[in-house]
Structure 1
Amino acid sequence: MGECRPLGFLIGLPFAFVAVIFSLVGALVWVLGTVLSCLCPCCICCVGAVKLSVSLLKLPIKILRWFTEKIPC
């Protein structure tokens, strides 16, 4: 799958670095949302924040895959 696409990986690294920063923010939001949902289970907005943070945690992998797919073989 990624045998002949090393340039896509290298070009995507700066964007993946930004995505890693977003994922760290997502991890912080996830921890805070989990603590808040345990303290007050009636806060439905905490569930949305936790779902958003999980998508932020997966962002670096998605960006690297997207870049490697865009580079032709």
Structure 2
Amino acid sequence: MEDCRPLGFLIGLPFAVLALALSLVGAVVWIIGTIFSCLCPCCACFAGLANLAVDLIKLPVKVIRWFIDQIPC
């Protein structure tokens, strides 16, 4: 149970909720970007937009892990 840091989890929870809202926006952008990149494969910007959206979707997990890593004990 070395990695169990409940204080870091509790401090990071409000920020993770905000990141969750951003990840929902990222999911919508990912769906739209995927549809447009399938319709017009010559547009590389839509593929980049879809990759950015995937990073937004992963954001809540990254935020919680960052806060947990900041608490030493």
| Coarse TM-score class (shorter-chain normalised) | over 0.9
Normalising by structure 2, report the TM-score: 0.94
**Residue type of the partner of 1:38?**
C
Which residue matches 2:70?
70
Q: Report the CA distance between 1:2 and its aligned residue.
A: 2.4
Tell me which stretches of 4 or more aligned residues in structure 1 moved more than 4 Å: none
Which residue matches 2:51?
51
How many residue pairs get aligned? The number is: 72
Which residue matches 2:3?
2
In structure 2, the gaps of 5 or more residues are: none
Which residue matches 1:16?
16
Cα RMSD (Å) = 0.8
% identical aligned pairs? 61
Q: Report the CA distance between 1:72 and its aligned residue.
A: 1.3
